[in-house]
Structure 1
Amino acid sequence: MVYISTVYLLCIILYCNDDMFASCFKLPGLLPACPVRVLFPDPGFRLGDAPRSPPSTSHGRKTMAHFLWPEPLSGAQLKRLEEHKYSASGRSLFEPPCQIYWNWLVQQIPTWIAPNTLTIVGLLVNILSTVVLVYYCPTATEEAPSWAFILSALGLFIYQSLDAIDGKQARRTNSSSPLGELFDHGCDAVSTVFVAVGTCISCGVGIFPNWMFFCGFIGMFMFFCAHWQTYVSGTLRFGLVDVTEVQIAIIIMYFMAAFGGVSIWQTTLPIIGLKLYVFPIMGIVGGALYSCHNYFYVILNGGVGKNGSTVADTSVLSPGLHIGLILTMAFIIFKKSSSQLFENHPCLYLLAFGMVISKISNKLVVAHMTKSELYLPDTAFIGPGLLVLNQYFNSFINEHIVLWIAMVLSLVDLTRYCTGVCLQIASHLRIRVFSITPPSSAHRD
C-alpha cells in the first residue's frame, strides 16, 4: 500500500505541476557554443517547451482553465510561430493522379467549412472505425466481421481524402495559418497509431508477438523520424513511396481481410511455398529500411542551424532521446512481463504507447515550427513509467490494470497538451480553431 500511495501521489504532483518536475532536472549549461553542441545539446532539461509564467488567480494559484488546458508556449515561441513558413519538397508516385481526385473533392466542400474541421472529422472517422476492429480483435488473432474491415477501409480512405484537401481548403478560403499546419500534423500523429493497430489486425500478426511489436511500432517511429529530419533541415521531405502509397496498400489489405478473412494471410502460395502474410511483413521491413535511409541521411549530414545544428540550434541527435526512451521502455516491458502483457493485450499496448509517441511527435512539430529546443522530461512518460515501476516491484498490481491506467493517463495528457496548444495559438493569432474567422477579426501585425 505504501508503494501504491507513493506512486499515486507522485503522479498527481507531476501531472498537475510539471514545472515542479522540471525544477528537479535543471542543470547548469556545461557545453560551450561550438560544433560539439551539434551532437550533444545543453543538458538544461525541463518540462514544457520554454520558461513560462502560468495564469494565476489573486491567490497565486493556477486557474481551473489552466489546469485543464495549459499554455505550453512562451511569448517568444508564439512570435517565432507567426514567422514560420511551411516548406516541403518531393512528390510520391501516386500523388499526381490522386491530385485530380483531391482537386475535384475540395470543390464540393462549402467555403464556410474550416480546414481543421475537415481534418478532425476524418480523424474521428478513422479512430472509430479502428476501435470497432479492436473490439472484435483485441489480440489481433481473431476474425472480425467483414463489414468491420470494410468500415476501416472506408474510414482510412475518408481520412486520407479529408487530410489531403485541408490545405487546399485553407488556401481556397484564405484561412491558412501556422495553426492549420500544426493541427494537420497533430492529427496525423494520432492517426498513425490507429492505422498501425488496424494494419496488424487485418494481417492477423498477433500470432507472432515479435512481428506484431515491430509492425506496430515501426510506423510510429517512421512518423517521428519524418518530423525529426524536418526539425533538422527545416523542410518536410516526401519520398517516391510515402504516406499516400502506404495508405492505399493498407486499404487493399483491409479489403482482402474483409472478403477472404484474416485466415487468408495463412494461405501458402504455390511454387514459391511462402505464406501470404510474409509479403506485407516484407513490405513493412523494406519500407522501413528505405525511409530510415532517407531520414537519417538528412539528419546525420547536418542541419540548417549554426554549425550544422537543427532549426533551433540544438543537437541533430537530441530528438532521438525521446523516441529512443519510449521504445526502450516498450521493449523492456514487453520482454520482462511475467503475465505476457503484450501477447495478451497487444492492441491496448500499442494504443497506450502510441498516445505517448503521439505526444512527443506533437512536441517535435511544435519545436520545429517555433524553433525551440525539445526537452526530455515530460508528463507523457508517467504512464510507461508506472508499468516499469510495477515490473520492478514484481508486478505488485495486475499488469493489465496498470496498462489501462497508463492508457488513460497518456490519452488525457495528449488531449490536454494538444488542446492547450491549439487554444493558445488560436487566441494569439485571433482566429478560431473549427470555424473560419472573419477578416476583420484576424490578427495583424
Structure 2
Amino acid sequence: MRLLQSWFARYLSAEDVHPNVLTVCGLFCNIVSHLTVLWYCPSLTESSPGWVWALTGVMVLAYQLFDNLDGKQARRLGLSSALGLVVDHGCDGINIVMSTFSAAALFQFGAGLRTLTVLFMASTQFFFAAWDEYYRGEFILPYINGPNEGVLILASIYLMSSQLDDHTTFWHVQETLPFIGGRFERRDVALAL
C-alpha cells in the first residue's frame, strides 16, 4: 500500500491541492458508503445486497489512501500545521464511529451491547493513541496497527462479503478454535482481528 500511496503523492496530488482537502475527500468517501449501508440496514440487523459491501470496501480503501496522502502532501508543500492535525484526527474519529456502525450492520449486531462494546473499544484505542501523541509530540504506531492493517482487514471483510451468496449465514456459522477451545461465530473472530 505504501508504494501506491507514494505513487499517488508524487504523480496525482497536484501542488495546489491543500492537504485538508484530501482529508475531507477521504471522509466524504466513508460518509457515502456509510449512508448507503444505513439506507439498507437502518436497524443494523437487515440483510443488504452484495454491491453495498463492495462499495463500502472500495470506499474504505479510498479513505485510507486519502488519509495517508494528506500527510505526505502536507510535508511536500510545507503545510504541516496544528489545524491539519486537528482536521486529520477529527476525520479519523468520525470515521471510527461510522466504520463501527457499518461493521455492526454487516455482522447484524443490531443496536445493542455488541455494537456499543465495539464502538467503545475502537474509540478508546483512538483516544489513547491521540493522547499519547499529544504528550510525546509524535505519533508512533507499532509495526502491525489498526490504521493500516486493521483498515485493510476491514476492507477485505467487506469485499469478501460482497462476493458471498449469503453473507449473513456465513458470518453466523459457529467454529471451534482449537488453540482457545471455545466455539465462536465467525463474525466474532473477524471482529477480533
Tell me if both proteins adopt one fold, taking TM over 0.5 as the criterion: yes
Pairwise mapping of residues 364-379 of structure 1 onto structure 2 (< 5 A)?
A: none
- Give the conservation status (yes or no) of the 8 Å contact 2:100–2:115: no
Kindly indicate whether residue 13 of structure 2 is the aligned counterpart of residue 109 of structure 1.
yes
CA positional deviation for 1:270:
7.5
- Give the conservation status (yes or no) of the 8 Å contact 2:101–2:115: no
- Corresponding residue of 2:158: 254
Kindly indicate whether residue 76 of structure 2 is the aligned counterpart of residue 172 of structure 1.
yes
- Corresponding residue of 2:186: 276
* Structure 2 residue matching 1:236: 3-state secondary structure: coil
Q: 1:143 aligns with which of 47, 66, 71?
A: 47
Q: How many residues align?
A: 185
Over the aligned positions, Cα root-mean-square deviation in angstroms equals: 2.0
Distance 1:229 1:106 in 2: 27
- Give the conservation status (yes or no) of the 8 Å contact 1:192–1:220: yes
Structure 1 unaligned regions, length at least 5: 1-97, 284-445
Distance 1:271 1:120 in 2: 41
Per-residue Cα deviation, 1:292-331 (whole angstroms, up to 9, x for no partner): xxxxxxxxxxxxxxxxxxxxxxxxxxxxxxxxxxxxxxxx
Kindly indicate whether residue 113 of structure 2 is the aligned counterpart of residue 203 of structure 1.
no
- Corresponding residue of 2:126: 223
TM-score (norm 2): 0.86
Kindly indicate whether residue 49 of structure 2 is the aligned counterpart of residue 153 of structure 1.
no
Per-residue Cα deviation, 1:209-251 (whole angstroms, up to 9, x for no partner): 3222211221112111111222333332212321111101110
Distance 1:175 1:239 in 2: 26
| Paired-residue identity, % | 27
Summarize the Cα distance change of 1:270–1:189 in structure 2 as closer, same or farther, 3 Å threshold: closer
- Give the conservation status (yes or no) of the 8 Å contact 2:27–2:91: yes
User: Which structure is larger by alpha-carbon Rg, 1 or 2?
Assistant: 1
Summarize the Cα distance change of 1:257–1:176 in structure 2 as closer, same or farther, 3 Å threshold: same
- Corresponding residue of 1:213: 116
Kindly indicate whether residue 170 of structure 2 is the aligned counterpart of residue 264 of structure 1.
yes
Kindly indicate whether residue 28 of structure 2 is the aligned counterpart of residue 124 of structure 1.
yes
Pairwise mapping of residues 377-388 of structure 1 onto structure 2 (< 5 A)?
A: none
CA positional deviation for 1:281:
3.6
CA positional deviation for 1:274:
4.1
Per-residue Cα deviation, 1:163-191 (whole angstroms, up to 9, x for no partner): 10111112223333332222211211111
Distance 1:271 1:189 in 2: 33
Structure 2 unaligned regions, length at least 5: none
- Give the conservation status (yes or no) of the 8 Å contact 1:204–1:263: no
CA positional deviation for 1:269:
3.9
- The one-letter code matched in structure 1 to 2:3 is I
* Structure 2 residue matching 1:218: 3-state secondary structure: helix
CA positional deviation for 1:122:
1.0
Q: 2:135 aligns with which of 232, 253, 266?
A: 232
Distance 2:101 2:158 in 1: 12
- The one-letter code matched in structure 2 to 1:218 is M
- Give the conservation status (yes or no) of the 8 Å contact 1:203–1:253: no
Distance 2:96 2:128 in 1: 13
- The one-letter code matched in structure 2 to 1:140 is L
- The one-letter code matched in structure 1 to 2:174 is T
- The one-letter code matched in structure 1 to 2:92 is D
Distance 1:271 1:168 in 2: 41
* Structure 2 residue matching 1:277: 3-state secondary structure: helix
TM-score (norm 1): 0.39
Kindly indicate whether residue 5 of structure 2 is the aligned counterpart of residue 99 of structure 1.
no
- The one-letter code matched in structure 1 to 2:173 is T
Pairwise mapping of residues 15-54 of structure 1 onto structure 2 (< 5 A)?
A: none
- The one-letter code matched in structure 1 to 2:155 is I
Distance 1:239 1:271 in 2: 27
- Give the conservation status (yes or no) of the 8 Å contact 1:204–1:265: no
Name the structure where helix makes up a greater proportion of residues: 2
- The one-letter code matched in structure 2 to 1:198 is S
Distance 2:152 2:177 in 1: 28
* Structure 2 residue matching 1:235: 3-state secondary structure: coil
